[in-house]
Each structure stands twice: as C-alpha cells, then as structure tokens.
C-alpha cells in the first residue's frame, strides 16, 4: 500500500468514527427531548393538583334516626316492636365557606334527628338541616366552623355530553375517594327521584357516594350525586342546588 493510499484510508476511518459519534450523541439528545416531552405532557394531564384543591370542600355525612316506614307488629306481644335506630352514611359538599353551608343528598338526612359532618381535617361537627327537596333529593345543611373550603357552582347550562368529570365521595365508608369519567347524558330520570333533569355520568360510585360532588376539570361543581343505576352515577344538577338557596332565604 502506497503512503498516499494509507493516509486517505486513515482520514476515512477518522471521518467515519466522528460521524458515528455525532449520530450517537444526536440520538441521545433526541431521546432526552422525547422523555422530557412525555414527562411534561404527563404532568400537564395529571389530576392531582385539581384533586388537592377540591378535596377539602367534600365532607363525610352521617345521620342517625328512626325510619319513617311502619313498625313491625309482634302478634305475641300485642304491640308494635320498638323502633330501631338507623344510621345513614354518605358525603356532602361545602358550597359557602363563610356561612358554613353544605349540600348533600336528601335521603341521607330526611329521617335523621342527629346529623354530623366529618371534615377533611378530622373535625366532626353537628349539622343543622335548613331545607330539603324530595323532588331533587338534595338538602342544605349548616355547620358552625372556621377555615372552611367551598366549591364554586358551575353556571347552569354550561355542561356538555362527553365532558370529563370527577366524582369525590365517601364510598363504603372507606374515606374520601376520587374517580373520573365523562358526562354520559343529560336530562335523565332515575326511579325514586322526581327530577327528570339529572346528570348521568360513568364515574365509579358505590354505596356511600350519595351526596358527593360531581366536578368538572375547572374545579366547579356540576352536580350532587344522588343515585347509581346500571353502572352509571346520577347527579342533581346545579339548578337543584340553587333552588335550595332560594328556599333557605
């Protein structure tokens, strides 16, 4: 091999190694950029900041009382059996922090003589029932407390089918839980509730979710969960809550 040929060969090798190193380095940078973009996208779509903001406004509700259904008659004793004390458990939503107003499902407090609100920070406070609506299955309560957090109501008519929503409630008495889904339908009815203008969504709810909040991704409450049927949750719309405000005045 001549001297000139050998030098050209060395130059070719050096250029090839440099090109390979540049390509590998560029690939690594592209990978970092892709990872960074994925991480930023994940952060942007995380619901954790929203949940932290709205969770303190959702409380546990417990009511104790005697059901209104007829008592069982014991023919041997000749008198009706004594009434049995019953407990109802669900959730509620603080809608006015200064006045201590809480909206919940009416069926949780309709027959209760004692009602307690269990706050996010562990406080258990007595709640007074101000007004109830059997038609909408919602009720307005009041507590005496400081340092409360409230949810803002969404404007009536601002809700669309397909809109993402969160449900914040107290299923199975496990403590506060959050599930997500979409608005499945509007102007729905559900057996046992006279209001035929309910919001239907596919959020996961269970026994104990009644009275919980249905919230949009702006953190505004769009409804109060009042029933579940066929895998769907049904919520009384904000119009029902506003009617409670009017009735309480």
Question: What positions carry a catalytic annotation?
Answer: 107, 137, 210
| Rounded Cα distance, 239 and 248, in Å | 14
List, in sequence order, every residue forming a beta bridge with 181; answer none if it has no partner: 165
Beta partners for 174?
none
Beta bridge partners, 178, equal 168
Give the integer Cα–Cα distance in Å for 166 and 150. 16
The alpha carbon of 187 is separated from its chain's Cα centroid by a whole number of angstroms, namely 20
Residue 175 has φ and ψ, to the nearest 5°, of 110, 175
DSSP string, 56-90: GGEEEEEEEE--SSPPPEETTTTEEPPPPPEEEEE
Query: Structure tokens of 37?
Result: 């973009």
Gap between the Cα atoms of 82 and 75, Å rounded: 13
Helix (H, G, I), strand (E, B) or coil at 17: helix
Distances (CA, A) of 26 to 14, 38, 126: 18, 18, 65
């Amino acid at each position: 091999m001549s001297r000139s040929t050998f030098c050209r060969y060395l130059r070719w090798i050096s250029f090839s190694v440099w090109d390979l190193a540049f390509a590998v380095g560029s690939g690594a940078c592209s990978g970092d950029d892709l990872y960074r973009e994925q991480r930023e996208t994940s952060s942007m779509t995380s619901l954790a900041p929203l949940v932290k903001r709205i969770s303190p406004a959702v409380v546990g509700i417990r009511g104790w009382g005697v059901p209104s259904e007829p008592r069982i008659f014991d023919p041997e004793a000749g008198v009706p059996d004594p009434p049995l004390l019953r407990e109802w458990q669900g959730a509620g939503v603080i809608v006015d922090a200064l006045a201590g107003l809480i909206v919940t499902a009416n069926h949780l407090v309709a027959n209760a003589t004692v009602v307690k609100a269990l706050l996010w920070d562990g406080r258990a406070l007595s709640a007074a029932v101000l007004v109830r609506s059997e038609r909408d299955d919602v009720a307005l309560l009041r507590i005496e407390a400081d340092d409360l957090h409230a949810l803002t109501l969404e404007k009536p008519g601002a809700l669309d089918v397909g809109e993402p929503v969160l449900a914040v409630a107290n299923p199975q008495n496990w403590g506060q839980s959050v599930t997500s889904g979409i608005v499945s339908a509007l102007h729905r009815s559900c057996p046992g509730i006279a209001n035929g203008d309910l919001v239907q969504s596919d959020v996961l709810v269970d026994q104990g979710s009644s009275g919980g909040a249905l919230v949009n991704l702006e953190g505004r409450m769009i409804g109060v969960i009042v029933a579940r049927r066929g895998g769907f949750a049904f919520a009384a719309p904000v119009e029902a809550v506003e009617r409670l405000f009017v009735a309480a005045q």
